[in-house]
Structure formats: structure tokens, C-alpha cells
A = this chain, B = another copy of it.
Amino acid sequence: MSETPDSAVRTYIENHRAAFLQDLAEWLRIPSVSAQPDHAEDVRRSAEWLAGRLKETGFPTAEVWQTPGAPAVFAEWPSGDPHAPTVLVYGHHDVQPAAREDGWHTDPFEPVLQENRLYARGAADDKGQVFFHTLGVRAHLAATGRTAPAVNLKLLIEGEEESGSPHFRELIETHKDRIAADAVIVSDTGMWSKDTPTVCTGMRGLAECEIVLHGPDQDIHSGSFGGAVPNPATEIARLVAALHDENGHVAIPGFYEGITELTDQERELLAELPFDEESWLRTAKSHATHGEAGYSTLERVWARPTAEVNGIGGGYQGAGSKTIIPSSALVKLSFRLVAGQDLDHVEQAVRAWAAATVPAGIRHTVTFSPGTRPCLTPLDHPALRSVARAMGRAFEQPIRFTREGGSGPAADLQDVLAAPVLFLGISIPSDGWHAPNEKVEIDLLLKGVETTAYLWGDLAENWRDAR
């Protein structure tokens, strides 16, 4: 068999596999838990370690960027080709807390290789998925004979993702010019399963609010006044009950305005995924599916906007009973948004709906938290096609498409950089993110390496002069 570009990549990866895993294990030994103040020094060490390793990889620039919290790492490797597109890879080097007594079979910060899996906190989320980019770019250079990547390659690896990215927006606005890119590649997600490699095409946005209803000026006796004054706990329930119509559509006027509907092609592609409802329900720890009429479960969680109650409360909730009409009641609502929905418009629609729904005699307040915009890359976007093609070569099978129901800082990058966001993740649901015994499958990790080894050449070839 003659040497093809792909076999050259594979040979390179095979030859460097042991050293790659050894290096990753070294990084995983640093307990960079951003949520725990006593690990602040470890998070700093993790950033320094990564910056050093990126320099060794060949990035001419690799810097630690301070924030008011934990530091991020930025690296840049220009292509040299004035027509090359610029790509920014996003990931994070901090990890979730982990302790042996949480149910880990081994020390979470002492990586263990077993049955072709690497067990350690951060193996999948997200150090493993950040790290495959280092060997990936080297394999790309080795297989193509280049001395610099075919794209202008930038990496931004934050240190506070597991703490809610409190300074991320500020960080990327501050460094907007340096991180400018034609596309963002997020390597902090997963794929459908080991046998079904997928590319995620978007995430839902998120608008969150608290609505408080105020009735009597204090809790009053339900015997003396019950039946004759408005009860804020009853009214908060009526408000929530009015959130959806009988078909499960969100009933807030204007909520769906501007929405990018699923295309027939996308619906067909989603329907091709080997979805097993029973297994999905087990993962959801739920006992039934329920939602908007006319949509499948995957469409409901990935591609439809929702209104969910995250919390409701008012009056007496302790043991036994208390015969009061409570003075106030609250509900915490979150709205998942899809492409085309505007955060400000949704907020105004919710405010108008609440004002129109709450009855006389009840005062209400609506407080919104800062929201997260949805992101979605069209199926025919050239960069998305490159990612799918590169992944298809690595996995040697067709790549299917998914979306993500959650929301994340990726949307901030899309927003600040005005660039499409693509998702390249090789983690699978059983990897145990945030759970004990987190692991990454070595075969998939190396498919990640291989995908990026093809991706930069594909992008440069098919998406020149992107800006």
C-alpha cells in the first residue's frame, strides 16, 4: 500500500502516541480546580505548563493572560499565507473538583491507563480535548511538509470555565483584536457515541429571570381572609400554567419571533441518529417524555426554544401546615433560545406577558440575569463542511450532525468576534464529565488528533480569503 496523506498522518500519530499520552498525563496531574480557592496556585501552574508545552509544540507565541480570577492561555501560529483563514480554538484548562471519596476507583489526579482508556479528572473535560490540538498540528505539518500551519492558528484556553466563566466576556473583549478569527473551533463538547461520530452545529441560548408576586403586605390568616383576596402563591401558579398552551408551545406573545426554523434537511439528518428513547430517559432520570407537539425529543432539546421552571416558592414549605395566605411568591424561569431569537426581544415579551397576566391587587417584579445568545452554524457553511470532512477521514465513516441543548461561552465568542462557532469534540456520553472516574477513550482522543491534522489543510484549501 502506497503512502497516502492519511496514512502519513496516522504513522506520525502512532509514532508519537506514547509521548503524547505521557505529556497529557503530566498535565492531568496538576489539580487545576478553579472553583476551589486552595487550588488557585494549581490553576496558575496548569496555565504555565500549557503555555510552555505550546511553545515546545512550535507556537511562536504562547502567553498566560491574567484575569481578575484564574489565568487563560493564548497561543498563536501564523500561517504565513496572506489568504489563509484564521481559526481560534477554544477550550479550558481548569477542571471540576474531584476527591477519591466521591466514588473514584483511583486517585483523580493520578492518571491511570486501563483497557485503552485514560482515567483522570479532566481527561475528557477538557484537557484531553485541548491537548489533541498539539499533536494534531504537528501531524499536519509532518504530513504536508509545511513549517507553519495552513491556517492562522490561534488557541484561547480559559481557566474559569468550571466556575461559570465569570471573566471570560471581559477577557475576550479586552483581547478582541488578538483573538480575531474567521471561525471559532470549540473543543469542549462531545459526540453522539463511539460508533456514531457527530459534529455539533449549534447551542441554545439562555434567558433567565425571576418573577416575584406581592400580595398582602404580610402573611395573613387564611381563615379570616381566605377566598376573598388574591393569593400570590395561587397567582404565581396561574402565571406558570399560562406559560404553555395545550400543545406545549410557549404561549408568551412574540416569543417565537424571528426564530430560524429547522429545515427539512436538518430534521431528516436528526432523524437518522440512532436515538433510543428508553436509554435517553434513563440518562434523563425521567419517567416520560413531554413537550411541544409536532417535534421529536431530539428536536425539542436541541432545536426548539423552551420555557422551564427552575424553581418556584412561596408561603410555608416546612413540615405540617400553616393556615396563611402568603405575602409573596416567586418563580425562577429559564428560556432556552434558538437561532433568530433576540435576547432583548424575549425579555420584553416576557415582561409584557407578565404584566398582562398578573391580576389586579398583585404587584409584580421581573428581574432578568445577563443572557447567553444562541449559536448555530448553517449545514452548508464551508468551515462546517471542512470539519465534517476532516472528521470523516479520521473516523473513516460519514459524520452526522447534532446540536447542543445547553448554552455556553461559545456564544460570547460568536458575538464578540462576529465569527461562526464550530464544535469539534470527541468525548462520548459515558466519559463521566463532572462525575467520578472521568475518562477519555484513547482511540477517540487520537481521532481528535487526526481530525485536526486534516482540518487545517482542508479549511485553507476550501475557504481562502474567508474574511
Show the binding face of A for B, using Cβ within 8 Å. Answer: 204, 206, 208, 210, 215-218, 220-231, 233-234, 236-244, 281, 284-292, 297, 300-301, 304-306, 308-317, 320-326, 329-332, 334, 336, 359-363, 369, 404-407
Contacts and interface: CB of A to CB of B under 8 A. Distances in A.
A310 B334 contact: no
Nearest to A298: B228
Contacts of A210: 321
15 contacts: A208-B321, A223-B406, A224-B284, A225-B301, A226-B405, A227-B308, A230-B286, A231-B308, A234-B240, A237-B240, A287-B361, A288-B360, A315-B332, A321-B334, A323-B334
Given A228-B284, A237-B238, A312-B329, 9 more contacts: A218-B285, A223-B406, A224-B406, A225-B286, A228-B289, A233-B310, A236-B237, A240-B241, A311-B315
Contacts of A297: 228
Nearest to A327: B285
A202 B313 CA distance: 34
A164 to B, nearest CB: 10
Contacts of A241: 234, 237-238, 240-242
B315 A284 contact: no
A395 to B, nearest CB: 24
A93 to B, nearest CB: 23
Contacts of A309: 231, 233-234, 237, 314-315, 326
Contacts of A238: 237, 240-241
A314 B314 contact: no
Nearest to A237: B240
Contacts of A300: 227-228
B312 A324 contact: no
Contacts of A292: 227
Contact of A301 (B227, B239, B320, B326): B227
Contact of A229 (B284, B315, B334): B284
Contact of A317 (B242, B301, B313, B407): B313
A239 B240 CA distance: 11
Contacts of A304: 227
Given A227-B304, A236-B237, A289-B228, A220 B284 contact: yes
A312 B315 contact: yes
A294 B102 CA distance: 61
B322 A216 contact: no
